[in-house]
Amino acid sequence: MNIIFVVDILLSGRGGMETALSLIYHELKQRHNVIVILKGKSEDSTWEEGINTRVLSQKMSDSIPRNVLLNIYSAALANVMKDLLPMDIIVSTGPTGVKAASMAVERLNVQVPVVSWLHFNLDFYYRFFEDLRAADGHLAISEGNLKDLQCVFPEKQNKLVYNPVKFDNVTYVTRPSHPVFLYVGRLAEVKNVDHIIKALSPLQKNHFELHIIGDGKEYEPLLELSHQLGIQERIIWHGWQQKPWDTVPCVTSLLLTSDTEPFGLVLIEALSRGIPVVSSNCKYGPREIVNSSNGWLYEPNDLEQLTSILGRIMDSGQPSPSPEACRESVRKYAVQSIAEQFEQALLDIAMKRAIQHE
């Protein structure tokens, strides 16, 4: 197949979408011709290495009227796509790309199915449901999102395809002699990193470390909070790291305290390295990943429960899952398997569209 990915936002180059797209791309390109059309240049283009990309030269601001934006975007896409014909299927990472891609194929007077591959929970896109109706099908990255898609778009082909993780050449992370907790991700309000600091604060009689890998606008408030609670000496701030899993050699557990997670790729990445996880039971991803064989869930915003779990881990009163059990629990997310499911979902959607248009 000739598969075209359309990325309709400007990427930082450091997010989960880039990781998932890169893994899927490199697996699919072994059997298909795959091209990625970017809305603009990534802030950090390292993730694009080895990926066949086209970057739209047309400047587009989200502040302009929606109909004008879609006309400009679809024209820019059509200008690139005319040199990529024939196209078998288009996969967009967002609703604007879905609508603009459907308009672009109309401009080119070709019949090409368009599929959405959303990386946020569906309610994040509530203002753009009409744009998403232009898709022939939708790929959901969690069961929760699949159920939402089936409720809002029951007439469409909605398929569950989890985000992938790389298992090849991934080694176990060593368990330390004293508790070492790790957070990897954006320092954004929705991630609730302050909950980690607040939950650990009552446990300072214990010897532990908290390593935080990531950057964002919440860094200064979080740093100030750590000083207010007198916990600053226990926290090591690493900033953003190209290879986060090589930054901290020994880890007891990964912590994730988000308000919402469409999937929770960082949980899979940690577990594949044998690291147990502690996560909020937020919608939707964590509850589909975390269980008694690989970690602990706590109710969102229940800091007492989080403190209790962390305290038991420190006191060794709660046996930690083995590295082997952690890795085995997420083997189904291996990129080779996920890419096959991704490929089959695209074929099913394309087939149904072809039947409908006979």
Q: What would the mean pLDDT of 67-72 be, rounded to a whole number?
A: 94
In angstroms, the Cα distances linking 26 to 19, 31, 160, 236, 335 are: 11, 10, 20, 34, 10
pLDDT in tens, 199-238: 999 999 999 999 999 999 999 999 999 999 999 999 999 9
Give the pLDDT confidence score for residue 317 in this predicted structure. Answer: 62
List helix spans (H) across the chain.
16-28, 66-81, 95-108, 129-132, 143-152, 193-200, 219-228, 265-272, 285-289, 303-314, 323-329, 335-356
pLDDT in tens, 100-109: 999 999 999 9
pLDDT in tens, 275-333: 999 999 999 999 999 999 999 999 999 999 999 999 999 987 668 999 999 999 999 99
Answer yes or no: is pLDDT of 357 > 80: no
Answer yes or no: is pLDDT of 355 > 90: no
pLDDT in tens, 235-260: 999 999 999 999 999 999 999 999 99
In angstroms, the Cα distances linking 208 to 135, 211, 243, 277, 288 are: 49, 10, 23, 16, 29
58: confidence class by pLDDT, cuts 50, 70, 90: confident
144: confidence class by pLDDT, cuts 50, 70, 90: very high
Q: What is the pTM of this model?
A: 0.93
Give the pLDDT confidence score for residue 136 in this predicted structure. Answer: 97
11: confidence class by pLDDT, cuts 50, 70, 90: very high
Give the pLDDT confidence score for residue 34 in this predicted structure. Answer: 98
62: confidence class by pLDDT, cuts 50, 70, 90: confident
Q: What would the mean pLDDT of 132-154 be, rounded to a whole number?
A: 97
- Average pLDDT, whole number, for the chain? 95
Give the pLDDT confidence score for residue 91 in this predicted structure. Answer: 98
pLDDT in tens, 19-55: 999 999 999 999 999 999 999 999 999 999 999 999 9
Exposure letters 37-70 (e unless 16+ CB within 10 A, then b): bbbeebeeeebbeebeebebeeebeeeeeeeebb
In angstroms, the Cα distances linking 150 to 68, 138, 155, 157, 174 are: 30, 9, 8, 9, 42
